[in-house]
Amino acid sequence: MATKAENSRKPRKARRRIPWKAIGWVTAALTVTCGVVLAVAWSVMSRDVDSFLTFFALRVPKTITKVLDRNGDVIGVFAEENRVVIPFGDIPRAFVGAVIATEDSDFMSHGGVSARGFVRAGFNFLTSFGRRREGASTLTMQLIRTVTAKRQKRLDRKLKEVILALKLEKAYTKKQIFEQYANEVYFGGGRYGIEAASQFYFGKSAPQLAVEECALLAGLVQNPNWYNPYNPDPKARAAARARRNHVLRRMAAEGYIKEADAQALSERPVRLARENAREEQVAPYPVEEVRQYLYRKYGKDKVLEGGLEVTTTIDSVWQSAANDAVRAGLRAVDRRRGYRKDGVQFVGDVDKVNLPGWNRFFEAGDSVRGVILGWKPGGAEVRIGKRVLEVPEAAFAWAGTKTIRSILMRGAAPLFIVKQANDDGAPVKLELDQEPDVEGALLAVDPGTGEIRAMVGGYDFKRSMFNRSWQAERQVGSSMKAFVYGAAFAKGLNPATMVEDVPTRFTYDATVYEPKNYERDYWGPIPIWEAVRDSRNMAAVRTLELTGIENVIAFARAAGISGHLNPYPSLALGASDLTLKEMVRGYSTFALGGRQAPVPFLIKKIVDRSGRVLENYEQGPGEQVVDPMSNFQLIQCLQGVAQRGTGARSNELNWPVAGKTGTTNDHTDAWFMGFSTRITCGVWVGLDAKKTIFRGADGAKAALPIWVDFMKAALPSTPKEDFPAPEGMEWADIDRYTGLIATSATQATDVVRLAFKPGTAPKSASTGEAIQKVREARQKANSQPTENRAWGANLAVPGQSTLVPNEIP
């Protein structure tokens, strides 16, 4: 029985006992559960590993389609991802060290996942209370992310990256992984892989990169848009340099370079390829023609991702010369049209404005807008960036100094052309300029093969992609006369044949046709060679009448003209719309001695990424379509044009060339078609809307200067050859007035040596009386009334020369 004391004592609380046994069971259960979950997760996520490894092994990165010139230099690329794949051996060791030091210093020792990297990233996250996050991804994991294009931050994605990284490291060597990484990673500016990035930023191939250049590229990997050194934001450019220097310090810390070298390299400025050079494309019109062909033949995806290699016929040196000649020539033509004040821009604060393009590296010939700060007695103050230039009045003279002062007031931002720049790429001498309204085209080919060496389709491809050398159909004017006279020689006429250059009104199929000479004067009876040389319109129409319209059309067709030819008397003066391409082919037939010229073509060979040839194109001259002697007579006449006639400016070349100017009514189209034995080149100038270029704009003033400038650059790389005379050709000294054999009555300056087919030279000798008779007829030509007659009415035999024989009655 309990005592009282015992009964009165308060009951003591029972001591809680820690349920170690239960905790153990729970822990064990959780461990097993987590293990099962992780095992299941690992199993589930590992299901795709084999398929990924297979995908990785078979993966071919999207690669560019390269367009090459005839010498193997790249002139264009087509790509969804601008990438050029290179082997590990071509990747600079400095770049390897820069990337590893900056992105994954444990790369050479870890098995795909860096424990130290995870610890470091976690520690930084915790100690900064989540404010500072550092990636723990290895290069292997970055490569997986790049290849799979999955960048969402999710636990399952991270876990899968870890699994794939571990598997990838077992399947491939470090060199293989880094090679793939260097070719896959994005460097900004639309460039993927180190080779494309090296070309883009430094204008050189990856093996040529300097250490500091490798460091800059390695620094781009983290944030290629912000660290892009071409970023116009000054803060971004400063950040790019700071990032490069950080990479150099990391390289020193990891032992890839010495501390002293890192310091010295950090002090070097960032030197990039000229920004305007990156944007230039030496052959935009040919490259666009290639793109359109490839899209039609192989499809867009194959072109943008398949790594084709297209070798063209373009010669980059000739192409560059063609670009310069067309741009300079069209500027000169446009200035004759006057200065257009409606194209002047005005800015607000002249001291603070920053216009696009001011940060470029300038060279002579570049265009730039400058802000007018004011005028002084000797000229204007013009601001470009931080520089203020004194531009003399002479630089505005072409626009009219008095007029231009009233147009270009303070705040105006007209276009200037850089005439001189210093070594740092800053403009030091300017001249007023304007964007031409006038357009032009140039096409140069090897006549024997049809290979296009240069093609310019307009003043500026960015302004207009329309290829006027290939697609535009324009009236060819007097350049058509070559086909008229070529057909005439083939039908029996010769360079000494006399034709009447007098006012005539023809009736043809009940239609009245009254051609006029360009200068509105007439010379009376003249030999064909002189009519060709000085481009006499009436004489050309008379020759067409003598030869026959159907014969001239047949001759042009045989030479290579495929477009529509109007079967009317106006055919003699080029009243047909043709392309520059077919005109070049036609004149190439003459350059080949009368053998039909091949169709001009651009693509020589196409190979796929494995080197398998898909297309290979070769061609040569066709059959003889013009008899060699008739062809040579035509060439001799066209040489007269180039030496002493409307094309006399080509004497600057000091080279055997032949050609013909072309001008249309109202001066809407200007042409020059010319050739040597190795080059045929045609130039067209005009406005897209068929309007007058400027009053008096003819082929000699508008097109010929462009042709001469181009040929000055192209001809020296070809053999200097005379046009060979066919065997059996006969020669005779002819009196230029009568078309008869020259005698003592002929002045020495009036003797011309001409080529004749055997037995066709004039039989009669020139006399003083005959010469006087022709002179009198020429004096009366302008005063005599216009002759009215039906087309071909007084031809004894249609198509034969019986109207004007080489005799003076």
Rounded Cα gap, residues 255 and 244, in angstroms: 17
The pLDDT, as a whole number, for residue 258 is: 95
Helix (H, G, I), strand (E, B) or coil at 485: helix
Asked if 656 and 723 touch (Cβ cutoff 8 Å), the reply is yes
Residue 401 has pLDDT above 80, yes or no: no
Which amino acid is present at 156? D
The predicted pLDDT at position 600 comes to 98
Of the segments 146-155, 512-521, 669-678, which one has the largest average pLDDT value?
669-678
What is the percentage of the chain residues whose pLDDT exceeds 90? 69
- Calculate the CA 304 to chain-centre distance: 19
Beta pairing, strands 387-392 & 669-675: unpaired
* pLDDT value for 50: 57
Q: Which residues contact 281 (CB under 8 A, 6 or more apart)?
A: 75, 76, 287, 461
Is a pLDDT exceeding 80 seen at residue 210? yes
Comparing 166-170, 180-184, 447-451, 740-744, the range with the smallest average pLDDT is: 166-170
Q: What is the mean pLDDT of residues 726-755?
A: 96
Spatial distance between the Cα atoms of 462 and 315, rounded to a whole number of angstroms:
21
Contact 553, 575 (CB under 8 A): no
**Strand pairing report for 577-578 and 751-756:** unpaired
Q: Residue 224 CB: number of other CB atoms within 10 A?
A: 17
pLDDT for position 73: 92
Half-sphere exposure of 444 (CA within 13 A, CB side): 30
pLDDT above 70: residue 453: yes
Give CA–CA dist 297/238, Å, rounded. 46
What pLDDT sits at residue 10?
Answer: 52
State the pLDDT at residue 808: 31
Tell me the C-alpha distance between 528 and 539, whole Å: 8
pLDDT computed for residue 49 by the predictor: 58
Mean pLDDT of the chain: 88
Helix axes 234-253, 93-103, angle to 10 degrees: 90
pLDDT at 30: 67
Least reliable range by pLDDT among 97-106, 202-211, 778-787: 778-787
pTM (two decimals): 0.82
pLDDT beyond 90 at 500: yes
H or E element that contains 795: none
Tell me the average pLDDT across 713-735: 97
With 90 as the cut, is the pLDDT of residue 236 above it?
no
3-state secondary structure of 239: helix
C-alpha closest to that of 671 among 482, 516, 449: 482
Indicate the pairing of strand 504-508 with strand 427-433.
Answer: unpaired
- 319 Cβ neighbours under 8 A, 6+ residues apart: 69, 75, 282, 283, 286, 453, 454, 455, 456
Whole-number pLDDT of residue 146: 81
Contact 163, 49 (CB under 8 A): yes
Lowest mean pLDDT, pick from 84-98, 109-123, 562-576, 605-619? 109-123
**Is the pLDDT confidence value at 153 over 60?**
no
- How many CA within 13 A on the CB side of residue 438? 30
Annotate 631-699 with three-state secondary structure.
Answer: HHHHHHHHHHHHHHCCCHHHHHHCCCCEEEEEECHHHCEEEEEEECCCCEEEEEEECCCCCCCCCCCCH
State the Cα–Cα distance between residues 167 and 51, nearest whole angstrom. Answer: 12
Q: How far apart are CA 360 and CA 426, in angstroms?
A: 8
At residue 774, the pLDDT reads 93
Residue 732: per-residue pLDDT: 98
Q: What angle do CA 789, 794, 800 make, to 5 degrees?
A: 130
Output 679 or 695, whichever has higher pLDDT: 679
Reply yes or no on whether the pLDDT at 154 is more than 60. Answer: no
Question: Is 118 within 8 Å of 106 (Cβ atoms)?
Answer: no
Residue 803: pLDDT band (50, 70, 90) is very low
- pLDDT for 426 equals 87
Q: Which residue has the higher pLDDT, 686 or 35?
A: 686
For the chain, which domains are there? 83-279 (1.10.3810.10), 339-436 (2.40.50.140), 492-525+727-809 (no CATH)
Using CA atoms, how far apart are residues 443 and 468, in angstroms rounded to an integer? 10
Query: Mean pLDDT over residues 205-228, rounded?
Result: 94
Q: How far apart (Å, rounded) are the C-alpha atoms in residues 394 and 416?
A: 13
Alpha-carbon distance of 140 to 120, in angstroms, equals: 18
Q: What's the pLDDT score for residue 26?
A: 65
How confident is the model over 406-418, as pLDDT tens digits? 899 999 999 999 9
Backbone angles phi, psi at 562, to 5 degrees: -110, -15
Backbone angles phi, psi at 460, to 5 degrees: -150, 115
CA gap 515, 522 in Å, rounded: 12
Residue 804: the pLDDT is: 38
- 595-635 pLDDT, tens per residue? 999 999 999 999 998 899 999 999 999 999 999 999 999 99
Question: Could you report how far apart the first and last alpha carbons of the chain are, in Å?
Answer: 176
Please state, in angstroms and rounded to a whole number, the distance separating the CA atoms of residues 204 and 206.
Answer: 7
| 700 confidence band (pLDDT: 50, 70, 90) | very high
> Facing residues of 670 across strands?
663, 685
Question: Do the Cβ atoms of 117 and 107 come closer than 8 Å?
Answer: no
Render pLDDT for 298-348 as a digit per residue (tens, 0 to 9).
Answer: 999 999 988 999 999 999 999 999 999 999 999 999 999 999 988 788 998
Torsion of CA 750, 752, 758, 761, to 10 degrees: -10
Please compute the mean of the pLDDT values over residues 242-269 and round it to a whole number: 95
The three-state secondary structure class of 607 is strand
pLDDT value at position 281? 84
Question: Quick check: 744 and 713 in contact, CB under 8 A?
Answer: no
pLDDT confidence tier of residue 169, bands split at 50, 70 and 90: confident
Q: Is the pLDDT confidence value at 660 over 80?
A: yes
